[in-house]
Structures are given as structure tokens and as C-alpha cells.
Amino acid sequence: METLHSMPSRTPKAAPVAKQKDAVKVRQRFSTADREQQILAGAIKFFSARGLEGQTRDLAKEIGITHPLLYHYFPTKQALIERVYEEVYLGRWKKEWELLLDDASISLEEKMTRFYLDYAATILTPEWVRIFVFSGLADGSIPNQYLALLKKKLFPRILRETRRHLGLTAKATATERETELMWSLHGGIFYIGIRQWVYGQPGPQDINQVVTDRVRSFLLSVPSIFNDGVPVSPVGLR
């Protein structure tokens, strides 16, 4: 016959600490803004690793939410990609860059160098570079939008300030040679990221020096290219 002391206790055992924490995590409630930010951060990481062809069902699983909940916040995959574009690309574009390039009191070499040093520090990240490339290989939506921004806000400024630096009269549009020289500078900065996060090769140890050298190489080339092949003397090039 079982005595009181020999009978097994019917008091529930406390759950292990780890399981208690998991339960609390499952029951955690996010505000609308926090949940959207959680999904957005997860999408940036996911698309950077797998490309824009990655399935949203896999994305939801990786974030730790249900597929219907993801679509509650972003009704379509394209809506989510647009939000990623706004966050990673538009969100990192700085108005002060435009003001810097517009400042006629600063030499062309100084403001171009300052701009590209900060630009490189801003965009040369795995998610910026890899999502850009993945989108280009898919539907091109992100590169198309971003390059349109460059053609509106950056290249006309570089063109105008470079011509002013050379003492040339401004033209309505850039020549092909001028355009290609600007692309060679800008694309060369971006290629540093391609080499690291697409090819998996080491980048430069002193990226600031590399950027500075590329700006100077651009400025040394402009006298013979920005005047339709007629050499002119650059003004203020140290």
C-alpha cells in the first residue's frame, strides 16, 4: 500500500528555462511598424543571399512568421521588393551629396573625392551590391530605377562641374566620350564591391586611397575627352 510519502507527486514540473523563453518568444507581440521592419530586414538578408527569385514562403519561414502574415504586410512580392529598394537604395542617397557637388567654392578634385569616399562607404555593403546584381539578372527593376536616379541627380552635376573646371561652355547633353568616362569612374567604384561580394575576392586594404586615385585618374583624363578630343589645360588640379 502506498503511503503519502511514497506516492508520486502530482505537482507539474517547471518547464526548462529555454522552453519558457521560447514560449515567451512565440507569444511576443510586435507593433505594426516593428513587424514591418522585421519583415523588411529579413527580406534584405534573404534576397541578398538567395536572389530575388527566392520564394516568399521560404522567406516567411526564415523570418519565423506565417506566409499569410507576410502577405498581410506586403500583398505582393513586388511590393516587398519595392520596399527593399526604398530602404537599401533610396534610403541611403544623401541630399548633402548634391549640395557638395553644387558648391562652386570647392575645387572639383576636392568635392569629387569627398563625394566618392562617402559614396563608397555608403554603398559598398554585401546587401547593396548583391541585391543590385541579382535584380539586374532578373527583371532589372532595381538597377533601372537607381540608374535613372544617377542620370538625374549625379551625372549632370559631374558633367557640369567638370566642364566648369575646364573653362568650357556647358552643352545640352553629354557626348558619348564624356558619358563613358563618367561611367568608368562610377563603375570602377562599384566594381570594388563586385569583386568582394560577387566574385568572393579580397578587396583593397586601403579603399580610401583607391577611391582617391580613381578620382584623380578621371580628372587627368578629362582635358582630352571633355573637349571633343582637343586638349585643354585643367584649372586647379593639384
* pLDDT attached to residue 228: 63
pLDDT classification of 14: cutoffs 50, 70, 90: very low
Q: Which residues contact 44 (CB under 8 A, 6 or more apart)?
A: 84, 87, 88, 127, 131
Contact 109, 115 (CB under 8 A): no
Classify burial at 64, counting beta carbons within 10 Å of its beta carbon; exposed 0-12, middle 13-18, buried 19 or more.
exposed
Give the best-scoring range by mean pLDDT among 161-170, 181-190, 225-234. Answer: 181-190
**pTM to 2 decimal places:** 0.82
Second-level CATH architecture of 30-88: Orthogonal Bundle (1.10)
Q: CATH code for 90-225?
A: 1.10.357
Domain boundaries, the chain: 30-88, 90-225
Between 120 and 170, the higher pLDDT residue: 120
CA angle 145, 225, 109 (to 5 degrees): 75
Does 142 score more than 70 pLDDT? yes
Does 138 score more than 80 pLDDT? yes
Percent of the chain whose predicted confidence (pLDDT) is above 70: 82
pLDDT classification of 16: cutoffs 50, 70, 90: low
pLDDT tens digits, residue range 33-77?
999 999 999 999 999 999 999 999 999 999 999 999 999 999 999
* pLDDT attached to residue 1: 45
